[in-house]
Chains A and B, each alone.
Chain A
Amino acid sequence: MNSSIEAHQMISELIDHVETVVVGKRKIVKLMITALVAGGHVLIEDIPGVGKTVLVRAIAKSIGADFKRIQFTPDLLPSDITGLSIYNQKEARFEFRPGPLMGNIILADEINRTSPKTQSALLEGMAEGHVTVDGITRPLPELFFVMATQNPIEYEGTYALPEAQLDRFLLKLSIGYPSRRDELSLLDRAPDHHPLGSLAPILGVDDIVHMRHHAASVYVSEAMKNYLMDIVQSTREHSLITLGVSPRGTLGFLRAVQACAFIEGRDYAIPDDVKSVAPYVLAHRIILNQEAVYENTDALSVIQEIVRTTKVPVSLKESVK
């Protein structure tokens, strides 16, 4: 994989491949792969049954990665996901049995139904790239991609994720219902044959790791960085926002923009990259104030409004303020 054009082709193929299973959600698939290439994790807040698991499994299978699924319940313990040491009587020593977290692609289902303690074990793994069990720090695989889902917060029996933990997810997406036509095509599928079963890998985990290195070197000009900062700054000064985007958010924003440019087959970022990822990177990182409630608006539309009103750099000279 030498040029970005080549990467673009590979990723297009990947997306097409995944789309054979998950119908009509190209944009979401693309964003998922953006997060994968940017090395971030994804939070999906959506109602059950719209194909979250299928989507993740399709991606995992397509890149030949190890897929694990953790169903979060209120009684789940940290060791249930990280793994634990068990005494082997035959060899008379403790043996580490890895938990489901030790995989490449993890689906953390209904993450807000479990206790904060277990949540933080998962989030440690996401942030640090390793977990600590019985005092021993164990590294996670190089490709470690968490896709967490959560029920809308208003539902009963949920532990809302605190801001600091939400901040660790690069993107927050919502899959939504498929269109009528797509759903009709779902109905036409043979009942005994699920396309996921026959999905063959077209890329390797190593390819993805390579892509990550390439994406991190995508060029972002001074003007573009300023444009990015303008948007971030606006979230901190906006009249409807109590808590703006953190510097960690800004860094994630940059990574997402780079990955987006990379997926589009460019080795430089353009304003359109910023515009396309901004709502998914920023919306879950801000907290609106009471006034926004009165105005009946939500974080997503506030971010969209900010993006809509920020001046786009269109010449070389506008680089420095």
Chain B
Amino acid sequence: MSERLFTKLTNAVIYGLAGFLVWLCAKPLIELTILNSRPLLIFFITVMMLMFYLKLPGWLCSSVCVLMILHAVHFYFFYNEPLLSFDWLVQLSADIGDNLSRIWQGEMGQMTDLFSAFMFYILFGMITFALRYWLRKEQLIFLIALAIVCSVLIDTMTVYHGATSIVAMVATALFMLSIQKWQLFSLKYPEGKKLKSGLPWFAVSGFAIAILLIVGLLMPKPGSQWTAPSNYLNGLGFTFFQNGSFFSGNQRIGYDEDDTRLGGSIGMDQTPLFTAAVSGNPGYWRVAHKDHYTGRGWSDGERYFLPASDRNAFSTMLSLYEAQTKTINQTAVLRFERSSPAILPYTGEPKWVEVPGKRLKVDQLTSQLQTIDEKKASSEILDYAAPVYQTEKLRQTTESDPEEIRSRYLQVPQDLPDRVRALGRRLTAGHSNRYDQVKAVVNYLRSSRFKYSTDNIPRPSRNQDYVDQFLFESKVGYCDNFSTSMVILLRSAGIPARWVKGFTSGEYQEQLQEKINGKTVDLKQYQITNADAHSWGEVYFPGSGWVTFEPTPSFSDPSQFVANSSNNRSSQSNSDQSSGNSETAENQQDASSQKDSESSRQAKDRTDQQTESVQKKRHSAKATPGPGIHWQYVGWTAMSVLLIGIIVAWLTRKKWLRAVYIRRIQNNPLGSSQDFQKIYRLLLLVLRFDGMKRSESETLREYAKRVGTAAGEELFWLTERYEQMIYSNNHQLTLSDSEHIRSLLDRWINSQRSKIKRVKE
């Protein structure tokens, strides 16, 4: 095999292994982030590595890299649009501009997923270019260090469990290094040091790697000694890291305009958004409802705003309730924090909304209230009608839905899996009236079949329906999962329903008095943070209007239902309005302050029990000694003795190696000039251990002169003899010469020994 071919082949293996390392590093991203396409990532890494291996010029590599990044962005975010259209590129650049200005304003947490993904891919591309540099310079150790640091960080900071991939990584890295060294020894070293065959090399290195891995796996691995560092980071203000929906793979709980792609985990973000002071009991704060379900989320239709300038306009455009729902007029004052988005939440049915200095408009499709200029408001004064639903009336509803409602609120996607439809129909089948049907679905969702959790929520894959995935596969989720499922199940059963997003009523702060329109009103103030963002469902009842239902366990329904009822909902609804009010208020506080629901507490108990039982098992295993354990002890003892021995030998190498070398100088035969050359080099090594190192550009004579008598005056004479050996064309060593040299060496050794004694004394 020619040297050229050999180099190419070994390089191919090295580049391939490097690519594999990158893959091992990047693999967690598939599980953790929204960039969840395995083939795409493999494709990206393969193409980059191939280009680097072929040593294509930098400009070509980087432009291909940019193209691939754009393709990936298209693949994840603009898959509805043709790849070659410019529309999505324009959108992308607009988004980048937006986000850059947000970063400029220091709002790191507000970056969109698109931007995060884009930045991430750019970063990834840049890292591969660092790789290219290291591969070219043959500095593989940097590459390996980066890979290991990356995966350890991912393992520590996120929920990803990286133990196996770290083992694979170390094995790959060691193998890669051994191939690189083999290549070096086979090609670049001068004739004498070259390796003739790779077999012994790989036998030794494979053995070494295997031992390392076995030792590594045998090592005891204590559990984590500290709590997840992300908590500290959070406390230090690294909110971006934790709350950026992209990097931790989590979405924030928080108000977000975009509901077209739901799913994935979410993190808690306690950024305060606004305070609400209400005269009555606080309800859920609604921002908008959405009607069109795509199978992945709730789509935004065309926005169609109408200005709302008088009382009449509000009551027609934001109308929710019909004749049979009783209402109580209430007042609320909202004050927005700096970090709040440009929203105007409201509760109940607004009669009059006043934002100082701004005129308002209402989106006809989502009932979203906004200022005309869509800028953030500082405060909002709200007169609204709080509903009191009549359960009996709801039960007795027999009228059919108006056509307009039916056409808008019974929509489900064409490709909604049949099992979802069937479940919707089955759940409602046994009940004669709409109210009980709805309650059946709500109770089904609130049952222990489903678990409320904000982390470790898998994302639906590309072809999976969001509701289907939750109902039949993951069964773990948060409000979006529950509310969307409720709406879709009801729609499947022919009941008009819609999805509403907004905020829960927040945390109680204080009692205060405020003057509104000349009247002093007693208000209770609540603090609403990003973590209070929520979604729920609404069902249409002819004659009563839209009725709110809460399908998410651990959240309590803010709506007031009056009438006796036989289901478990009755504990929360109450016929006595005043006592019922206080109870619901309490419930809400409870729900918002500690989200630990009973179900999650149960889950916790269960895991505690499990760990306990595991510990018990371990205990029993230790108590009864098996035959394998002795061997283990022997192995461990041998291993640790060996390790300590190696460390001690390494630390004291100067002393004992020096002694060994001096002994060799003394005892080596001095028959030929080669012998003398060897001895002289040993002598230089001994001097080096004594801290007298010759620099590479120093001639022997200069060296001998520099170290002077410290190295013994014999050195100068020996150096002259050595020079004669290597620089002249007469390498012969006559008998008298060697006798002379031997006597010089003996004197030198004596002087060195006495020197050591002097040092010791």
Q: Tell me the A residues contacting B by CB distance below 8 Å.
A: 219, 221, 223-224, 266-272, 275, 307-317, 320
Contacts and interface: CB of A to CB of B under 8 A. Distances in A.
Contact of B727 (A224, A310, A320): A224
A157 B544 CA distance: 115
B339 interface: no
Contacts of B677: 315-316
A269 B700 CA distance: 13
B190 interface: yes
Interface stretch (B126-134, B140-148, B631-639, B691-699): B691-699
15 contacts: A219-B727, A219-B728, A219-B729, A221-B728, A223-B726, A267-B728, A270-B727, A271-B699, A272-B702, A310-B697, A311-B696, A312-B696, A312-B699, A314-B699, A315-B726
Closest CB pairs A-B (n = 4): A268-B728, A271-B699, A311-B696, A219-B729
User: Quick one: which of B696, B700, B725, B726 has the most chain A CB within 10 A?
Assistant: B726
Contacts of A315: 677, 681, 726
A268 B697 contact: no
Contacts of B726: 221, 223, 313-316
B192 A317 contact: yes
Interface in B719-755: 723-731
B697 A221 contact: no
Contacts, number: 57
Nearest to B674: A316
Given A315-B677, A316-B726, A317-B192, A270 B697 contact: no
Given A221-B727, A223-B726, A312-B698, 8 more contacts: A268-B727, A271-B727, A308-B697, A311-B697, A312-B700, A314-B699, A316-B725, A317-B192
B338 interface: no
A313 B696 CA distance: 9
B706 interface: no
A16 B699 CA distance: 27
A203 to B, nearest CB: 26
B727 to A, nearest CB: 5
Contacts of B730: 268
B655 interface: no
B701 interface: yes
B728 A314 contact: no
Contacts of A312: 696-700
Nearest to A275: B699
A275 B702 CA distance: 10
A221 B702 CA distance: 19
How many B residues touch the partner, as a band?
A: 20 to 34
A309 B724 CA distance: 24
Interface of B: 190, 192, 677, 681, 694, 696-702, 723-731
A270 B699 contact: yes
A309 B190 contact: no
A312 B727 CA distance: 12
Given A315-B677, A317-B192, A221 B699 contact: no
B192 A272 contact: no
Nearest to A274: B699
Contacts of A308: 697
User: Quick one: which of A270, A307, A316 has the most chain B CB within 10 A?
Assistant: A270
Contacts of A219: 727-729
Contact of A272 (B694, B697, B699, B731): B699
Contacts of A316: 677, 725-726, 731
Contacts of A269: 727
A315 to B, nearest CB: 6
A49 B608 CA distance: 100
Nearest to A219: B729
Contacts of B725: 316
Nearest to B673: A316
A270 B696 contact: no
Nearest to B684: A314
Contacts of B724: 268
User: Quick one: which of A219, A221, A315 has the most chain B CB within 10 A?
Assistant: A315
Nearest to A266: B728
A138 to B, nearest CB: 40
A223 B700 CA distance: 14
A224 B698 CA distance: 14
Contact of B701 (A221, A272, A310): A272
Contacts of B192: 317
Contacts of B728: 219, 221, 266-268
A76 to B, nearest CB: 45
Nearest to A314: B700
Contacts of A310: 697
Contact of B723 (A270, A307, A311, A317): A270
Contacts of A320: 190
Contact of A309 (B694, B697, B723, B729): B697
Contact of A317 (B190, B694, B700, B702): B190
A317 B191 CA distance: 10
A223 B729 CA distance: 12
Nearest to B729: A219
A275 B700 CA distance: 12
Contacts of B700: 271, 312, 314
A271 B704 CA distance: 13
Contacts of B698: 312
Contacts of A268: 724, 727-730
Nearest to A316: B726
Contacts of B723: 270
A81 B708 CA distance: 53
Contact of A221 (B681, B696, B729): B729
A221 B694 CA distance: 22
A317 B192 CA distance: 9
A270 B697 CA distance: 13
A202 B512 CA distance: 121
